[in-house]
Every structure is written in C-alpha cells, then in structure tokens.
Structure 1
C-alpha cells in the first residue's frame, strides 16, 4: 500500500463543522524557531536564529480549524534563502493565505531576532559587538501589506537634579577649603584633581528606549542601522562595547554634556523619529532604571 493512500485514510477532524459557529480574529502558532537571512551592516547578508508567531483570521464561522501545519511548513525555509525585505515578506504571506483554501483573508507574522552591530569605541582604536533586539510585525490583508519595526537602544542617563545638587556640594566644599586670599590657579587645579575636589557625584543609570515604527509603504529594506544610529546620536550616551580608560573618560564627558530626565530623553527620541520620511508613525517609550529609586522613571511619546 502506498504512502499516499495511507495519508488519504487518516482522519481529519479539523474539517468537521464547528459546534459554536463564530469568526476568529487570529489562529496560529507562537515562538516557532527558524533561520532568518538579514542584511548586515556591510551590505551583505547573514543568517541568524529567530523566533516567529504566525496566524490567520478564520473567516468561515462553521469551519472547526485552519490548516496550521501548512503555515508552519511554508514558513520554515522561506526566509532563510532570501534577504528579509518587503517583497520577501509579501511573497511568504500570500503563500500562507493561499494555503488556507478560502478559510482566511488576513495573515499576521511577527519575527524576533537580535541584530548584531559592531560599534567603535569613543576615543581608543578598539571596537566591539552589541546586540539590538528587533521585532518585525507584518500584516497582509485585503488592504495590502503593513510593516511595523520595533527595536531597543540602551543608553546612560545622568539626572539633572542630582547634578545640580552635586555641584552645590562641590561649590560648598571649595568655599570651605579656599578663601579670597588663597593662592590661585595651581592650588585650585591641584585641589580639583584631589579627592577633596569631588564632594558628590550625580546618580546615573542604564536606560532603554523602545520604539515601534510603522514604516512607510515606500520602504523596501528595514533601516535598522540608520534608526539605531539616529537614536544613539539623539540620546548622546549609548552604552559602550570596548572601553579603555580614555573611552571611559570620554563617556563621563558625554554624560555631563547630556544630563536628562526621562522627559528629556523621550523628546530627543521623538525629534529623531518625527523627521524620518521612512516612518509613517511611531510610538516610543523610554525607561530609566533608577539607581536612586526602587522604581523606574518612564515616559512615552507618539506621533506621525
């Protein structure tokens, strides 16, 4: 007996009529492991491990279930053989809808992976790798294809209020150690370089900007590197990879030049995103994981 005839004899209860007829918004699978081919920073391509959620709407209220295994099989190798872009996603999603044989007219795919970027040190000749979490949400329906890109950037935030309070203490110590009759420049310079020259330091903390971007229809490739660069430039204090003493000193200087509350950080992020023609609209959240408080300071901003 052939394999085909054996398959024909297997029961398929998913084809039975639903007991409680109803349309379903989304039916599918979550956290599917798969390889994903993405563009690297040098314009080439690299394969990375990814996870995916994929599902369709069920437009036949009487149908008990969708053809779930067909979605899985269509997805397994489709995105490992060509670089991820709008055209590749649209092809895969159309195949997924067609595999359902009239049961669905809308499919949603979410991809998650880590984008590895090499970042230069601030002052030394070194560099190092940093992973940026990326999520791509692709929805194909009767209205066409919609793409949303989400990513996260970590940075350092030094509190402006704490900096002002620290400066006050430093000034008070200076006034206590010196008077108008004290010898000038050399004495002050030596004092500033001594432990006495630092009465207090402002608190700072690792922080994170999470952005969700609806991409314009004209965007074909995902502008991950460009968005990361824009956000890190706007924030001014991205966390570092390779760090020698000269890099650490440069980082300390950047923090002093970029004192910010979470409200300041949110406005900087919004300014960077709102002028980018590749972005139709955005939603951003900044979180400062406080070193002073036991809670986080959070701000959200959105716009076209």
Structure 2
C-alpha cells in the first residue's frame, strides 16, 4: 500500500478543454495590475528599485482553445524582473519567452509597466536640491513585425500667459501716467521707489501649473535614458517646477516665468522642436495641458514627430 506522500495526483486542467459553442480568436489575453518590483536606471548610472504595476498579455490565435497559461506569464515576469534591471534587451527577451511558452497558441505578446522614478534636482540659485517624482510608463510589444518599445513620462512646469502679460503691462503704463505728470521732469529716485511699490505692479499676468505628457518611441538598440528626455524638455520650456526653494530661487523662478511667456501652442512647439532634434527617437507624441487659472477649463495642444504611420497619423 502506497503512502499518501507517494500518491501522484492528476489535477484537472479545464483550460485545455475546447468549447465548440464559443469559438473565436482573441486579440489579447493576460493579466493587468501585477505587483512587481523593478530596477531602473533613469540615465545617471544609479539603479533604483521601484514598486510597479505590470500588464502581461499574449493573443490567442487558436479559436478552439479555451484559454492561455497565465501562470506561465506570471512566473516569467517574476524571473526576468527579479534578476535584471529594465532594459530594451531584457524586455525583448521576456516577450520572446512569453511566445515560446505559448507555442501554437500565440504569435503576439506585449507588456505594460507603470512606476515612478525619483530624480534629484538642483535649485535654481541656492546650493540646495530636492527630489522630483516622474511617472514612467513602458510599453513593449513583439510579433511577426518585430519588437517595439515606447517610453512615457510627464513634465510639470509653470506657464505665464502672453496675452495676460501684455494686458498687465498696459495697466501698469496707465498707472504710471496717472502718478507721474508728463509735463514734470521724471525723478529717477521717485520712479525707482514707485517700481518697488504695489502701485508699480497694479496688475499681474496669470500663470498656472502645466503638464506636458510625453510618449516616445526609441530607435532599435537605443538604451533607456529618461533623464536625457526630461532635461531636453525642461530646458526647452524654461520653467519646470522646483523642489527646494529659498528666496533667491523663487526670484529666479519669477524671472524665468517673465522670460518664458507661452500659450499652450508655444509650449507644444518648443517640445516638438526639442524632441525632433533627439536622434535617439523614432517617433514621439506630446500632449500639453495648461490648467488655466483664468478659466475653469484647460487649454490643450498636441504635437508629434510627423512620421508616416506614427503617433500623429490620423
């Protein structure tokens, strides 16, 4: 008589059972919201560990097969992300493993990964610095047409309205005309004192927190470099939000806002030109959102690289 420990139990697998009345190929089957740790180098050589949400999918091309092997996808994800930092080569290898584990069932695989990357940012003038959290999304797919990799993030910045600035300047001019008689010689000290008073700034242009959401498609063989993209876009805008701020930093930020007046269209074109000059990118899509302080609605503009069949194609 065999002991309980030596008894082999055959467990049923109903996923292999055909459902003749429910035949049909499926575009994607898998899991979303998988909780995993990821290791990611934002581009400064320092590998950070972050908590991520991951989606893993394959298609189901056999109409008479009831389902896929989701546990195989999960274990492959756990193995690859547990042993290697995120990279294009690792993700392509993982997607190949997805398809190999579903031979005869699938010919397309894809992954989506979402997490936050912390980046240390210096203050504008003082010697201080602080952390900025940038959301990161990674979309990778593999099929007969090849491997494709896209990286998404966003930049938060301040935008001062050019029209509001012009209207404010007009009001300041009118106040100056009321306070200083055109027939009387202007006293330098009096004007200097007036400019430093509240009467010298009777109107201020409206500014608002704004967001540029970026999606870039990397050329084949190009490594991740989130910092390079962030730096390029933030420098083009001129007014990214700050971390540690002393008075000299706040004054420098006010000066930057005054020198970077922009509508949402201006911001979208600045980013478009900056990313168009980036040789690492095969394509990109930008959504600029100015969260208006004048209106209850947002001002929005879109831009893309203009690649045929790319993000901006109808």
Q: TM-score range by the shorter chain?
A: over 0.9
SS of residue matched to 2:265: helix
Report the equivalent of 1:256. 258
Q: How far apart in 1 are the matches of 2:63 and 2:109? A: 17
More displaced stretch, 77-86 vs 234-243: 77-86
Counterpart Cα distance in 2 of 1:171 and 1:3? 94
C-alpha displacement of 1:2: 4.6
Cα distance change of structure 1 residues 3 and 32 upon mapping to structure 2, 3 Å threshold: farther
Spell out structure 1 runs of 4+ moving beyond 4 A: none
Identify unmatched segments of 5+ residues in structure 2: 308-314
Normalised by the size of structure 1, how large is the TM-score? 0.96
1:114–1:22: structure 2 CA closer, same or farther, 3 Å change rule? same
CA distance in 2, matches of 1:2, 1:165: 85
Local SS of the residue matching 1:69: helix
What secondary structure sits across from 2:30 in the alignment?
strand
Q: CA deviation at 1:105?
A: 1.3
Q: Give me the whole-angstrom Cα distance separating, in 1, the residues matched to 2:6 and 2:26.
A: 34
Structure 1 residues 40 and 68 mapped into 2: Cα distance closer, same or farther (>3 Å)? same
Q: What's the CA shift for 1:98?
A: 1.2
Deviation for aligned residue 1:44: 2.6
Classify 1:161/1:3 alpha carbon distance in 2 versus 1 (closer, same or farther; 3 Å): farther
TM-score, normalised with respect to structure 2: 0.93
- 1:214 aligns to 2:217 (yes or no): yes
- Pairs within 5 Å for 1:142-181: 142-180=144-182, 181=184
Aligned pairs for 1:113-128 within 5 A: 113-128=115-130
Partner of 1:74: 76
**1:182 CA displacement:** 4.4
Q: Post-superposition shift, 1:77? A: 3.5
Matches of 2:47 and 2:83, distance apart in 1: 10
Distance in 1, matches of 2:7 and 2:279, equals 53
User: What does 1:223-238 correspond to in 2, within 5 Å?
Assistant: 223-238=225-240
Q: Distance in 2 between matches of 1:3 and 1:141?
A: 43
Structure 2 residue corresponding to 1:201, chosen from 196, 201, 204:
204
Judge conservation of contact 1:37–1:81 (CA < 8 Å) in 2: no
The CA deviation at 1:4 is: 8.3
The whole-number CA distance in structure 2 between the counterparts of 1:237 and 1:28 is: 41
In 2, Cα distance between equivalents of 1:135 and 1:215: 13
Q: Secondary structure at the match of 1:153?
A: strand
Give the one of 58, 61, 67 matched to 1:59: 61
Query: Which range is displaced more, 229-238 or 99-108?
Result: 99-108
Distance 1:192 1:4, change over 3 A: farther
Displacement after TM superposition at 1:83 (Å): 1.7
Aligned length: 301
Aligned twin of 2:17 = 16
